[in-house]
Chain A
C-alpha cells in the first residue's frame, strides 16, 4: 500500500492542477517538458504575481509586439493563438485562430484554447480577471519605456525557458540604443514633428513625449516639437505645428489604410509651406510598427529614425542596417536573403546606388495589399491600387511608371 499511495497522491495533485488549468496542456499532450529547477515567480504590470513551474507550452499573444518577442525568443511554435494584428514575423500570419481584441477579446475562446500563458498588453485588468479566475496564467506586460521593454523581454525569456536568449536580446537592444545615443551625442537636436494621423489635416494627431514613438524621437537625437503634450499623443492645431516650425516631419501615417499622407500632401496644406521641413523637403515616411509597441524591432525603429535625423553621423556606416534575427533577415524565409525582385528590381536598376541595398525581404501589408521593402537608403513601396513601384528616401521619391522613372512629390531638381 505505501508503494501505491504515492502515485495516487500524484494523481490527486495532478487532478488539482488540471482543475487549475496550470499544467493541464503540457500533461494532456504528454510533453514531459523540463521543469524549472525552482519555480519562477513574475510580477506583471497589473501587479499580479504568477508562478511558473515549467515553461509554458501553449501561449496566446494579444498583441503583435508580444508575438514578435515570443518568436524572437525562439518560442513561436508554442503560440496557439494571436491577435489579428500579429503579422510579424511572416510565420505569425499562419497562426490560427486570430483573435479580435476590439472592443474586447473573447474570454471564452481563450479559455477553450487551454493556454498556459496569455500575454496581454493594453487589456484592462477587469477583462483579465475572469481569465485569471479560470486558472489561466496571464502576464500583462505594458512597459512604459525602451528600458522597460528590454527588461520585459528578458523576463519573458526566463518564463519561456530561454533565459540566455532573452537576456542576450535585451542586452543587444540596449547596446544598439546606447550606440545610437552615443553617435548623436553633442549633435544639434533638430525640431521634429511626428505625425500619427491627418485625416483632418487642420487638426492632426501628433506624438507627445511618452509612448515609444515619443521616446524614440528623443533617443534619436531630435527635439519633439510637441514634447509638452500631457500624454502619448494628442490632436493638435495646425497653427501650433506651423508656429513650432519643425525641421523634420516624420509621417507615421503614410501607410494607413485610409487618408494616407505623402510629403506632397503635407506640403500642400495651407500655411505649411512656411515650415522649414517643407521648404527643405525633410519629410519622411516611416512604418509605425517599428515605433508603436514593445518588441525587439524598437531598436530597428530607433536606428532608422536616428539615420533620418542625423544622416551625417551614420553616413560612413552606409545607412541603417536592420538587425538580423537568428541569422534570418526580417521578413525573409529561412535560407532566403534580401534582394530586389520584380518592380523593385527594375526600379533599383534605374535608380542605381541611391536606392541602397535591401535590408529585409519584401513583405505585404495584409490590409491594403501594398508591398514594402526597407533598404539602407529608404523604403520601397508597391501600391496595389495604382500598380506602381516607388522608392522614398531622404532625397526624394521616385516611381517606376509606364514612362520610366519619374520623380514625384518633390520640389528638388537633382536626380538620384
Chain B
C-alpha cells in the first residue's frame, strides 16, 4: 500500500471538527471489487508461499511435480523421498488450509461482534468465548475421555462446546425485559470470561497430576493451528462458510444498528432477532476457529479494523474484505510459527500480536483522523 493515499488525505480532519460527522467519501474509496481481487490474490499467494516453506525444506520444483502427479495424474518420476510427499500432503497442506479457515472465521466473527457491540475493542472472544473455550479444553485434558468426531479429539470438541455454552450464558444473563442491551452483553461477557478463565487456573492447581504438564495446556491456550486430518476441514469449512454467508446477509441490519438500536428499529430492522442471529453466527465462527486453532488473539480485532480503514464501515463490503485479509494474515503467521525456529513450533498467538500489532498501529497513525467504527 502506498503511503498517504490521496483519498484519505483529502478528507476533512475529524479532530478539527469533532462535532461534525465527517462526510464519508465512499465514492472515492478504492472500488470494492478491486480490493477483493487484490486480497484474493494475496490470499492465494500466501497459501502458495506457506505451502512451499516449513520446518522441513522441500525443493519447490519437486513440490510442483508431486502436486501435478496428485491433481492431474501426471507421472513425473519421484525425485523426492516418500516422506516428503507425506509431509507435504498429509501434514503441511491441511495445516495451511486450516490456518486460512481459522483466520477467515476469526475475522468474520470480529466484524460481526464489533458491529453488534459497536465497540472497537470487541473481538471474537468478547462474549465470554475465550473463558468458555479454555474451560472446555481444560475439561478435555482432565477428563481423559476418548472419543472423536471426524478427527477431532475431546479437547477441541469440548472447547467448541465451551465457547457456545459461554456465549449462551452471556446472552441469557444480559437479557433485560426481552432485550439484550449492548452494555449488558459486554459486561456479562467480560465477567463470564474472567470467571471461566480463573476456573481453568483453579482446575489446573487442583489437579496435581496435571502439574508437570502445564506447558502443554498453556501451549494449547496460546493457540496453534492443528489439522491432523482432512476430514476435520470437511466439517469446519461448510460450517464457517455458511456462518459467513449468514453474516453477510445480516450486513444491512448491522449497518442500521451502527446508528443505534432505536434508529435501526425505525428503519425496519428486527433488532433483537438480528442481534440474536449475529450472536449465534459469531459464536459458531469463533467456536469453529477455537476448535482448529485454540485461542488465537488479535486476528479478529485487527483484520476488521484494517479493512474498515480501507473499504469503509459498510458491512457487506467490510465482511468479505476482512475475511480474506484474516485468512491471508493467519496463513503467514502460521508459516512463521512453523518455520521460524525449526524444528520448534512457536504458539501462533504470540506471532499474530507481534506481527499484526505494529502493522495496525502504523495504519492507524497514517490515517490522521479520529477512527470511527
Contacts and interface: CB of A to CB of B under 8 A. Distances in A.
A267 B224 CA distance: 23
B273 interface: no
Interface stretch (B204-212, B305-313, B323-331): B204-212
B338 A239 contact: yes
A260 B153 CA distance: 12
Contact of A258 (B143, B205, B208, B215): B143
B343 A226 contact: yes
A270 B228 contact: yes
Nearest to B143: A258
A101 B345 contact: no
Interface stretch (A23-31, A162-170, A193-201): A193-201
Given A100-B208, A197-B213, A237-B343, A202 B144 contact: no
Interface stretch (A66-74, A171-179, A228-236): A228-236
Interface residues of B, number: 45
A367 B86 CA distance: 37
B216 interface: yes
Contacts of A103: 205
B91 A271 contact: yes
Nearest to B89: A271
Contact of A239 (B54, B143, B214, B219): B54
Contacts of A244: 343
A274 B83 contact: yes
Contacts of B55: 236-237, 239-240, 243
Contact of A270 (B142, B153, B213, B229): B229
Contact of A257 (B140, B155, B209, B219): B209
B90 interface: yes
Contact of B141 (A239, A240, A243, A258): A258
Q: What is the interface of chain A mostly: helix, strand, loop, or mixed?
A: loop
B342 interface: yes
A205 B216 CA distance: 8
Interface string A292-326: 10000000000000000000000000000000000
A242 B91 CA distance: 9
A364 interface: no
A368 interface: yes
Interface string B73-113: 00000000011111101111011000000000000000000
Contacts of B214: 102
Residue picked from A84, A102, A229, A367, most chain B C-beta under 10 Å:
A102
Contacts of A238: 91
B9 interface: no
B8 to A, nearest CB: 41
A367 B209 contact: yes
Given A102-B205, A202-B95, A229-B344, 15 more contacts: A100-B205, A197-B216, A199-B216, A200-B220, A229-B343, A237-B56, A237-B345, A239-B55, A239-B338, A242-B56, A243-B87, A244-B343, A258-B142, A258-B143, A271-B90
Query: Which 6 A/B pairs are nearest by Cβ-Cβ distance?
Result: A271-B90, A240-B343, A271-B86, A270-B90, A102-B211, A274-B83
Interface of A: 84-85, 100-103, 197, 199-203, 205, 226, 228-230, 234-240, 242-245, 256-260, 269-275, 292, 366-368
